Structure 1
Amino acid sequence: MSYTVSEIARALGCEAVGATELVITGCSEPADAAPDQLALAMKPEYAETLGQGQAQVAMLWQGADWQALGLRAAILAERPRFAMSGLSAVMDPGPRYGTGIHPAAIVDPSAVIGKDVNIAPGAIIGAGVRIGDGSTIGPQSYIGTDVTIGPGADIREHVVICHGCTIGARFIAQPGVRVGSDGFSFVTPEQSAVERVRDTLGDQGEEERQSWARIHSLGAVTIGDDVEIGANTCIDRGTIRDTVIGNRTKIDNLVHLGHNVQIGEDCLICGQVGMAGSAKVGNNCVFAGQCGVSDNIFVGDNVIAGGATKIMSNVPKGRVLLGYPATKMENQMESYKALRRLPRLFKEVAALKKAVSKPE
């Protein structure tokens, strides 16, 4: 896969300068770039290492003196990191599973397969499945009974989408994704110690032995358009109604969304986030790594939660959170600073007590 500098710049809507007919076969960091690679020197500090490589062409910021950097050509972007999004799409060859339906794939006769769909070896397509045009189903993936997948899906290796789930257009599932497993719902014949603790915030009452009965998940999972889910992420189906993920939401690796969770549009959910059953999240929210969201609470639009934040109660829109339990980020940082000052404060108080108890 190769493109001229001018072709790349035109695809990205950026300015190309210099010898724009040079051919580019790939991308590289500045210090490692070969003569036919585009060096990604998107900040002045990155450009300082261009001399360590052999780059002739680089992606730079607007106003950069590309000739002074010893380059033969450059692509100038107003927002280089955003331009990198388009560049990576242009240069990514993607996995190669072959075209059409591989003989080693198993496709139920009742499945409806759209045009230009690629189904890799070992994939299993269940009864009543509908797969939209231009989709790819990776090796050893399983698409369960009556699943609907919109056009342009890119489903990678070992993905499982369980029965009855509905997925919109241009869905991306990284290797190992699990969508539509049963929720973790169990109940005891009488009120359990866990339920009493929730009511009393600490007192579990008299100890008694009870066995747990399983509540089956009768709902499914509904996913909107342009959603991406990272490797080994698990999304439980709903108990009665569906678990829902809104349009354009992006989910990282190793995330778990419990039964009945509702995620709004344009959310960003980073690695190892866990959301308990029936939590509801608004639009444009960001959850950094290892955040936790308690069950049956609401998080408003445009909320940002810093790493390892534990959200245990409803959050109004626009709030920026940090800590366990979650508080406003500025309050949490002040508390942390105060905590670090405690040892010095103890020494000062001890000195004052000594001075007061033993005056000169």
Structure 2
Amino acid sequence: MSYTIAEIAASLGAEAFGDTSLRIARLAEPADAGPDDLALATKPAYAEALPQGKARAAMLWDGADWQALGLKAALIAPRPRFAMAGLTAMMDPGEGWGEGVHPSAVVDATAELGDGVTVGPLSVIGARARIGAGTRIGPNVTIGAEAQIGDSGVIREGVKIAARVRIGARVFIQPGAAIGGDGFSFVTPEVSGVEQARASLGDQGEATAQSYVRIHSLGSVRIGDDVEIGANATIDRGTIRDTEVGDRTKIDNLVMVAHNVIVGSDTLLCGQVGIAGSTRIGSNVVLAGQVGVSDNITVGDRVIAGGGTKILSKVPAGRVILGYPAVKMDTHIEMYKHMRRLGRLFQDVAGLKKAVSKTAQTD
């Protein structure tokens, strides 16, 4: 698989310079690039490594002097990183699963597979499941009874999709993700120590030790179109209603979305984010790595939470937050600056106490 510089430029809407008939077989970092590679030198700092490689062509930043860099051809896009989305899609060789249904796959006789569906080795598709046209299912995937997956999806190795889960079109689910497991829902016969502590924000009182009883999850999971779900992420089914993930939302590796959660569209949930049950996350939200969100609260549209933030109460739309507990980011940074100065402040206070003490003794 290779493309000329002219073909790549036409596909990306980028400008092509020099010998546009050069063929590109791979993408490479500047120092590692060979004569058939396209070097990704999208910043001046990256271009400094071009002499270490053998690239004849490169993707450069707007305004770059490609001839001065010793290249025979160049691609220039106003926003190079955005252009890389299309470029990497063109050059992606895929997973090599082959076509059709592998002989070792188990597909229930009542399941419906659209045109061009691929099912990899040892995968299982349950009764009355429906798989949309062109969807590619890798090895060791399990899709439960009555689950639905839209057209042109990619379900990678070891994914587990439980019964009655509904997934839209063009989804991309990375290895090991589990969608539709039961929610972590348990209850005690009497008011528990946890409930008492939460109500009082203090000691749990005289609560007696009790065993927990399961609340079954009767809902399922609904996932919109163009959603991506990372490796080993988990999305639990709802208790009564469905857990929901909106269109175009992207979920990173090891993210936990609990029962009854609703996540809006165009939201990013980065690695190790944990969202507790029955919380609502708005659209265009960004939760950075290791953000934790308490249960039964609302995070408004366009909220950005910095890494490690712990959200314990409602967050209004558009707010940028950081810290534990979460506060406005500028407030948190100011608090942190003051905290760093505490040692010096204590020294100053100790010095003042000594000075006052000496003055008193003199008097």
TM tier, smaller: over 0.9
In the TM superposition, what whole-angstrom CA distance separates every residue of 1:154-202 from its partner, at most 9, and x where no partner exists? 0000000000010000011000010000000000111111111111112
Query: Which position in structure 1 is the counterpart of 2:35?
Result: 35
In the TM superposition, what whole-angstrom CA distance separates every residue of 1:299-341 from its partner, at most 9, and x where no partner exists? 0000000000000000100000000000000000000010001
Query: Which position in structure 2 is the counterpart of 1:344?
Result: 344
Query: Which position in structure 1 is the counterpart of 2:167?
Result: 167
Count residues with an aligned counterpart: 360
Query: Which position in structure 2 is the counterpart of 1:45?
Result: 45
SS in structure 2 opposite 1:358? Answer: helix
Query: Which position in structure 2 is the counterpart of 1:354?
Result: 354
For residues 220 and 265 of structure 2, what CA distance do their matches in structure 1 show?
19
Q: Which runs of 4+ in 1 moved over 6 A?
A: none
Deviation at 1:203, TM superposition (A): 2.3
Query: Which position in structure 1 is the counterpart of 2:293?
Result: 293
In the TM superposition, what whole-angstrom CA distance separates every residue of 1:60-107 from its partner, at most 9, and x where no partner exists? 011110000000000001000100111111111110111011111110
TM-score w.r.t. structure 1 length? 0.99
2:155 counterpart of 1:155: yes
Deviation at 1:226, TM superposition (A): 0.2
Deviation at 1:207, TM superposition (A): 3.7
For residues 175 and 340 of structure 1, what CA distance do their matches in structure 2 show?
43
SS in structure 1 opposite 2:180? Answer: strand
Trace 1:13-92 onto structure 2 (pairs within 5 A).
13-92=13-92
TM-score w.r.t. structure 2 length? 0.98
Trace 1:1-360 onto structure 2 (pairs within 5 A).
1-359=1-359
SS in structure 2 opposite 1:347? Answer: helix
Q: Which moved more, 1:234-243 or 1:348-357?
A: 348-357
For residues 280 and 36 of structure 2, what CA distance do their matches in structure 1 show?
49
For residues 331 and 145 of structure 1, what CA distance do their matches in structure 2 show?
50
For residues 180 and 335 of structure 1, what CA distance do their matches in structure 2 show?
41
Q: CA RMSD in A?
A: 0.8
Amino acid at match of 1:232: N
Whether the aligned pair in 1 keeps the contact of 2:192 and 2:207 (CA below 8 Å) is: no
Deviation at 1:347, TM superposition (A): 1.2
Amino acid at match of 2:36: D
Q: Which moved more, 1:240-249 or 1:350-359?
A: 350-359
For residues 185 and 242 of structure 2, what CA distance do their matches in structure 1 show?
15
